Structure 1
Amino acid sequence: MEFFTKVKAVKLRSHLDKYLAADDDKETVRQSRQGSARKSRWLVEPVDGNPQLIRLKGIHGSYLAASAAPFLLGMTGNKVVQAKHDDSSETTTEWQPIRDGFQVKLKAAAGGTYLRANGGTPPWRNTVTHDIPLAGSTHNWVLWEAEAVEIPENEALNDYLSLVSSFSSLSDEVFGSEEVESPMSIRSYNSPKLSTKKTGMDLFRNAKAVRLRSHHDKYLLADDDEDSVTQDRNGSAKNARWTVEFVDDDSGGANFLRLKSCFEKYLTASNQPFLLGMTGHKVVQSSPAGRLDSSVEWEPIREGNQVKLKTRYGHFLRANGGVPPWRNSVTHDIPHRTATQDWILWEVHVVEIVIVHSPKPKAVVQAVPRLDEFASDSSSPSTHSAKSNSFGRQESIDSVGSSPPKAADGRAIYYSVADEFGNVNEGDEGHCITFKGNGVDELTRRLEDETGIEDIAVCSRSPLNGKLYPLRLQLPPNNVTMHVVVVPSSSKVARDFAKAGITL
């Protein structure tokens, strides 16, 4: 409940990665992939006299309501519709949020049924009902992921703002009075403080290969049987290295990734139970035949300096502990106990970054005057003219051949000048020089000449956390292209280096 007291509107995402939406007929409620549509936003209204209950108001002014009408005759599950909260005694518009791990269940105040996102074939596909899940396979169907929504100021919905003053009276009896943030995954579309879910990819963005360390200080390991996935303290083993592949979604973004083991197999969330009768399913290495499916795709969700890796079906990669057979095992599951909340958190160690090789500069061909341009002013015999023509062609050839830089001529170094706090203007494309040396001191002197700034530090930016670190001693071998940041010694970031005992 604590989460719903802090937001004005929410989106609810089901286990099928679809959003609860108020249909345009102003009556039906269904699931939709269009999470950015206004019909997927729901206003949160408190219920007077009962701080444990809320109402969810759709874009058409009606409320999410649990109807008494059956969805299909002879089948369990009743309709969920849009209705006015005083329309009929046969509908209830009041819901009780109940936390379940990192997700939430919405319980109808009357009847004790839960809001359920249905899957399968028509007529069940994309429908929403309220029911009590009896089968273990449908338990996740009543779990929803709550995402905070910032309401644009230019929308003509005055009741969005009228709710703010009433939130302070709500209690957190459902979730307790913990000081920490709500464990539900929260996304805010305008506020940077609630955008951690969007920045989970930042820890992988420039990574070509990573290691993942669990809360047990053990690394995710691809077993030598080329099938199992375990944990081990030997992070230097090749089995602990996972190659990162980004998955482009329909919008052109990359919110999901794949992790490939040293055996060229993918980290896969299987549907096989780890132990019969227990929660948690096996995580294995696999090479899906034909097209890669969603079982090998993971969504990184940032949690401080760590990440949670989430499947498309709402489960998280979990590093198990305890006695055998749980010890050192890896499963995917939804943590239900507070004691196991940290089991789905992983540290990302980048072991290889993507080097973007810049294109070679284009050859600049200097125009050489043709012979006939000199002929009119020359009184030389024709033999001299022929010789000049030969010389002119040779000079042109030499100028073309000498223009493109060769590998032996040095490396391309792209540099930008940082401000007082080490930041670089996003619009600054930087400058490029060709550098032949291998020493940092030589490069520093060269960049001082190029920038006209005296006493600088040459830094590189960490692909893991984005922080600047001064270069030391030698540059990388093989004349690889580099991207560096020039930091003036008078800047605050340079003074911070000195305070930390880092010599420039």
Structure 2
Amino acid sequence: MELFKNARSVRLKSHLGTYLCAPDDGAVSHGYRRNPRGAVWAVEPAGEDCVRLQGHKGLYLGATELPADLDSGGRGTRSCCRVVLGSPSCPNDNAFLWSPLREGKTKNLLTLSGPYGRLLRARFGRRPSKDNAVTVDLGADPEESSWEVEVVAMANAAPPLARAPPGVLARFHSTKEAKGNKVSPEEEEEEEWSEEEVLPKPSAARRILYNTARDDGGVDGLEEGTWKDFMFDGQSLVALRRRLEEETRRTDFVVCRRMGARLFPVVLDLPPGNKGMEFILVLQSSRVANGLV
């Protein structure tokens, strides 16, 4: 904990030589680029033994209880879970509390322990430049879960956006798989933060497209004219589901999204912004509903 006592902002370098980062797409990843603003985390003390880590967009590093989708192959387990960005639902929300523990005799080396003692870990996938993942692992080797703390001078740290307002019903905002590219130190470039990039932008309604899956999980293409849409203002999954129930006049469905040919239940809030999104409604009585993870 003493490593964070006098630090306002830090970079966290993994045992792989990569830096924990939150790119602009809302994912949590790690990469070799040291200088992007997404690799700097504001340290927020939370009691004597814990901290919260706030990214440059005002969202916090959080651990879920959802199995990690490693290499997009769905091979994660309950002991290897996703790490995402989100907002605490209350000051003591332990999903966003990290307990730093010094690792070995190295001065700036530590592990970050989340809920249930799971350790924050950076890992490569089958394609190291494409499938970089950050997980919380139960029973992980501390050496493979170690992070080197690099204190960032205030002059070089971009101020984070204002934290999300209270009352957020679903805490997490994104589970998109990280897609950062490996960059050699020679290719690293300093990035400047402008006022336009740092200040929050006004929210606006986004277009929601939705369709109902067939019994076997098949879904018509967008060009077939069976999709419906509406404008939705907000990020709450609870509010979105309520609106879908009003639009469809039924409640017996699971809200899903597509990843390739597979359907996955939506369990997190919508990401920030107003980019349109597509959702698939899977009827609970259908055959495909039994296979949803």
TM-score range, shorter chain: 0.3 to 0.5
Specify the structure having the higher radius of gyration (Cα).
1
Give the structure, 1 or 2, with the largest relative contact order (CA under 8 Å, sep 6 or more): 2
Q: What TM-score do the two structures reach when normalised by structure 2?
A: 0.46
Q: What TM-score do the two structures reach when normalised by structure 1?
A: 0.27
